[in-house]
Amino acid sequence: MAINYEQLLNRKFETLTHDYTEKDSMLYALGVGLGNDPLNENCLQFVYEDGLKALPSMSVVLAYPGFWAREPDTGIDWVKVLHAGQEFIIHKPLPASGVVEATTKVTEIVDKGEGKGALVVTERVVRDKATGEDLCTLLSTIMARGDGGFGGPSTSSATPDRIPEREPDLICDLPTLDQAALIYRLSGDYNPLHASPSVARQAGFEKPILHGLCTFGVATHALLKTLCDYDPARLNRMRVRFSAPVYPGETIRTEMWRDGNKIAFRCRSVERDIVVINNGYAEVS
């Protein structure tokens, strides 16, 4: 079954309700590396219930629709799907616990051509169920590597954010734990690629890789630490393109360039000197 452009663009998604607790917020923060130093009180506010705060990047797991590209009606060859990009826009600081709801919709499909795959962009607005207030908007891009050539539009409305051609203004190195993927998956992404050595080898990796959204969370930590004094209310928007996987245990170096409240950034694996997140953009206050 191939992608039907009109059918996929107008696909109906179920409205999801998500009841999450302070324990869920702490578990998410632990999964992206907060608390690696248990004596760091700046990090403690995200993993300890006294004055607990939620990380802005936790928005990506709220009312998450799951691996919907695997459903037969999409026409997508799900085995060849990769997470290509992610963005969050925070409208109101996320509560450390609560009940939210959201509906996902497909907003753009780009046909890269036969043998080149397709880009599928979705949007999800997460709302506080009790008040109806919008908390965040999430834009996610997948690369459907096996689905190009179906006759859809060939150009995207989005252009990559530019990384300056000079030395970064700021650098932040953050280590990841060897068991980081095993912790992060407990926030809802149970893909065996991130836990099973045999599945990882079948996919062409030497061992299980870190979730792209876990790397996204580590980058969020770097921005909060370096630019926001660990105040999550100051990180308003963030988007990235995923360029290479990270292996748990590696150190992620985030390189940042400032232009007022606008930040360009990228992340690389220190051990392999390879860029793992590129074309990063953030807005801070």
CB 284 within 8 A of CB 223: yes
Interatomic CA distance for residues 101 and 202, integer angstroms: 36
Structure tokens given for 184? 């992060």
Per annotation, catalytic residue among 3, 189, 252, 280: 189
Q: Catalytic annotation on 212?
A: yes
Tell me the CA distances in angstroms from 155 to 6, 53, 85, 90, 146, one per residue in order: 16, 40, 16, 28, 18
DSSP 198-251: HHHHHTT-SSPPPPHHHHHHHHHHHHHHHHSTT-GGGEEEEEEEE-S---TTPE
Per annotation, catalytic residue among 35, 212, 217, 280: 212
Q: Shortest CA distance to 53 belongs to which of 31, 37, 34?
A: 34
Q: Shortest CA distance to 136 belongs to which of 237, 224, 229?
A: 237
DSSP for residue 8? H
Interatomic CA distance for residues 176 and 192, integer angstroms: 19
Per annotation, catalytic residue among 194, 211, 221, 277: 194
Per annotation, catalytic residue among 209, 252, 263, 277: 209
Structure tokens given for 29? 């923060």
DSSP 143-187: EETT---SS---S-S--PPPPPSS--SEEEEEE--TTHHHHHGGG
Structure tokens given for 130? 């009790």
Q: Catalytic annotation on 277?
A: no
Catalytic residue annotation: 189, 194, 209, 212
